[in-house]
C-alpha cells in the first residue's frame, strides 16, 4: 500500500497467487484460545452448561480475513491437547493455512470462560498462564513465510502474555518491514495482562513499526493520554503508520489515511455480544486492503462485518462471510 496507490498489494498478490508461491496473503500471529461460553446468566459457579467456541484476538482476525475472501495463514504455538486439535480443525475448516503452526508436545492451549450478568455485562476468566503460545520465541517465525505475505497482523495481547512472545511479535514486525510486507497492529490493551507504563512503551513503539494501526477509542485514550478521538488518531498517525482506524463501538470508526480524516459510521444492528467485533474489523479491513480496496472502502466493508459479529454469541461463529456482508450492503443501498 502506498499513499497514492492502495491497490498495489493486491496487484502483487495476484501475480504471486497465480504462481502459487505464497503461503498466505493475510498472515496473523498470536495466541489462540478455546472459549467456554456459559449458558446461564450469572457467576461462573452458576453457569450450568458451556458452549465450546474459539477466541484469541489475532485468530479471530484471521477467521474474519478468511471469510472476507483473503488467502490466510496463522502463526502460533499450541499444545498437542484436545483444544489444540479443535483449533486446528476450526482453522482448516475456514481455509486457514496451519502448516507453520507449532504443536508443542505436552504443551497446553490457553482457555477462557465467558459469563454474563445483567448489569455488569460479560466477564472473562482466563487459563492461559504458561500456555504454549506464551512460549513463542523469535526462532519460531518462518521468515520466508512473513516475507511472502502481503500483510502481517499482530496485537498487543501477544506482546503482553510473555516477554518471549513480545520479542517474537517485534521480530516478526521487523522482518515484515524489511521484506515490504505490510504490518497491521491492534494494540488491544488488556490492563490485567501488563502494567500501563510497559504497555504504553511497547504499543507506541509497535505503532511506529506498523503501516496500519487499529486501536479502540478507550485504549487509544489510555495509551496516548489524549481524550479527543481526533487527537488520539493524530498521535498514532504521527508515529508513522499510513493508516490509523480508531474503533469506537457503535459510533463506528475514525479513519486517518495519510493524515486525511474520515468518520465511517457504524452499521446499525441490535447487538447481543460484542466479543470479537474489533478483531473482525481488523481481519476484514486487512483482507479488503489486500483485495485492492482503498482504506475508506475497506473500512466501509469492515464496519458491516464487525457489526454483524455483535448479533451472535461467541467470538468466531458470528463472523460473517463475504457474501453475507455484500448482501447486507447492497440491501442497505
Ligand atoms: N454495538 C455496535 N453496533 C454496530 N457496530 C458495532 C457495535 N460494536 C462494535 N461495532 C463495530 O465494530 C467495530 C469494533 O468494535 P469496538 O470499537 O468495540 O472494538 P474493540 O474495542 O477493539 O473490540 P474488542 O473488544 O474486540 O477489542 C466498531 O468500530 C464498529 O464498527
Ligand atoms: Mg480491540
pLDDT of residue 22: 53
Q: What is the pLDDT of residues 138-166, one digit of tens each?
A: 999 999 999 999 999 999 999 999 999 99
pLDDT of residue 14 exceeding 80, the answer is: no
55 torsion bin: left (phi>0), alpha (psi -120 to 50), beta (else) = beta
Give me the mean pLDDT over the 293-307 stretch. Answer: 98
d(CA 141, CA 26): 15
pLDDT of residue 313: 85
- Asked if 101 and 125 count as a contact pair (C-beta separation under 8 A), the reply is no
User: Higher pLDDT residue, 12 or 149?
Assistant: 149
The three three-digit cell numbers of residue 169, written as one number: 511479535
The three three-digit cell numbers of residue 206, written as one number: 509497535
d(CA 8, CA 150): 10
pLDDT of residue 194: 97
Confidence of residue 1 (pLDDT cuts 50, 70, 90): low
3-state SS class at 186:
strand
Give me the mean pLDDT over the 242-267 stretch. Answer: 98
Closest CA to 245 of 309, 196, 291, 301: 301
- Asked if 125 and 44 count as a contact pair (C-beta separation under 8 A), the reply is yes
Q: Cell 483485495 appears where?
A: 291
> Ligand 1 in contact with 271 (CB < 6 A)?
yes
Which ligand 1 atom is at minimum distance from the Cα of 57? 26
Q: What is the helix (H) or strand (E) element at residue 126, kind and residue range?
A: strand 121-127
Out of 17-26, 89-98, 158-167, 208-217, pick the least confident.
17-26
Q: What is the pLDDT of residues 321-330, one digit of tens each?
A: 999 999 999 9
Give me the mean pLDDT over the 194-204 stretch. Answer: 98
Which ligand 1 atom is at minimum distance from the Cα of 307? 5
Ligand 2 centroid to residue 129 C-alpha, Å: 21
Best mutation site among 123, 244, 278 for ligand 1 pocket (most ligand atoms within 8 Å of CB):
278
pLDDT of residue 7 exceeding 90, the answer is: no
> Ligand 1 in contact with 215 (CB < 6 A)?
no
Q: What is the helix (H) or strand (E) element at residue 309, kind and residue range?
A: helix 295-309
N residues, the chain: 333
Q: What are the DSSP calls for 148-203, one per residue?
A: H-SEEEEEHHHHHH-HHHHHHHHHHHHHHHHHT-EEEEE----TTTS-HHHHHHHH
Confidence of residue 186 (pLDDT cuts 50, 70, 90): very high
d(CA 157, CA 149): 22
> Helix %, strand %, coil % for the chain, to 5?
45, 20, 35
Mean pLDDT, the chain, whole residue set: 92
Domain ranges of the chain: 8-32+56-109+130-322
Ligand 1 centroid to residue 315 C-alpha, Å: 12
- Cα 327–332–333 angle (5° rounding)? 100
| Ligand lying nearest the CA atom of residue 186 | 2
Which class does domain 8-32+56-109+130-322 fall in?
Answer: alpha beta
Q: What is the helix (H) or strand (E) element at residue 233, kind and residue range?
A: helix 229-238
In the chain, pLDDT over 70 holds for what percent of residues? Answer: 93
- Cα 73–58–290 angle (5° rounding)? 55
Q: Cell 463501538 appears where?
A: 249
d(CA 82, CA 87): 9
Q: At what angle do helices 322-331 and 295-309 cross, to 10 degrees?
A: 100
- 301 φ, ψ to 5°? -70, -50
> Ligand 1 in contact with 277 (CB < 6 A)?
yes
Closest CA to 293 of 254, 321, 257, 250: 257
The three three-digit cell numbers of residue 253, written as one number: 470508526
Amino acid at each position: 500500500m502506498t499513499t497514492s496507490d492502495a491497490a498495489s498489494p493486491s496487484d502483487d498478490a495476484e501475480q504471486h497467487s497465480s504462481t502459487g508461491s505464497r503461503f498466505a496473503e493475510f498472515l496473523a500471529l498470536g495466541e489462540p484460545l478455546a472459549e467456554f461460553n456459559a449458558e446461564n446468566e450469572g457467576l461462573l459457579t452458576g453457569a450450568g452448561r458451556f458452549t465450546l467456541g474459539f477466541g484469541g484476538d489475532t485468530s479471530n482476525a484471521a477467521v474474519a480475513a478468511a471469510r472476507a475472501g483473503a488467502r490466510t495463514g496463522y502463526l502460533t504455538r499450541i499444545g498437542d491437547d484436545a483444544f489444540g486439535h479443535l483449533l486446528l480443525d476450526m482453522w482448516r475448516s475456514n481455509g486457514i493455512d496451519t502448516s507453520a503452526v507449532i504443536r508443542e508436545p505436552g504443551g497446553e492451549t490457553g482457555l477462557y470462560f465467558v459469563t454474563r450478568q445483567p448489569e455488569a455485562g460479560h466477564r472473562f476468566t482466563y487459563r492461559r498462564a504458561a500456555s504454549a503460545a506464551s512460549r513463542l520465541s523469535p526462532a519460531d517465525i518462518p521468515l520466508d513465510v512473513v516475507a511472502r505475505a502481503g500483510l502481517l497482523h499482530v496485537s498487543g495481547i501477544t506482546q503482553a502474555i510473555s516477554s518471549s512472545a513480545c520479542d517474537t511479535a517485534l521480530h516478526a514486525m521487523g522482518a515484515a518491514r524489511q521484506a515490504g510486507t505490510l504490518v497491521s497492529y491492534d494494540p488491544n490493551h488488556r490492563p490485567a495482562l501488563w502494567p500501563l507504563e510497559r504497555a504504553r512503551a511497547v504499543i507506541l513503539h509497535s505503532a511506529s513499526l506498523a503501516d496500519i494501526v487499529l486501536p479502540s477509542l478507550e485504549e487509544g485514550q489510555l495509551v496516548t493520554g489524549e481524550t479527543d478521538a481526533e487527537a488520539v488518531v493524530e498521535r498514532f498517525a504521527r508515529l508513522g503508520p499510513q493508516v490509523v482506524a480508531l474503533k469506537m463501538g457503535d459510533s463506528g470508526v475514525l479513519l486517518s489515511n495519510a493524515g486525511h480524516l474520515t468518520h465511517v459510521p457504524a452499521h446499525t444492528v441490535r447487538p447481543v455480544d460484542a466479543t470479537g467485533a474489533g478483531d473482525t474489523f481488523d481481519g476484514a479491513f486487512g483482507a479488503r486492503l489486500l483485495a485492492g480496496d482503498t482504506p475508506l472502502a475497506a473500512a466501509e466493508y469492515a464496519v458491516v462485518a464487525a457489526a454483524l459479529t455483535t448479533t451472535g454469541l461467541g467470538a468466531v461463529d458470528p463472523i460473517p462471510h463475504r457474501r453475507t456482508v455484500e448482501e447486507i450492503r447492497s440491501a442497505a443501498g
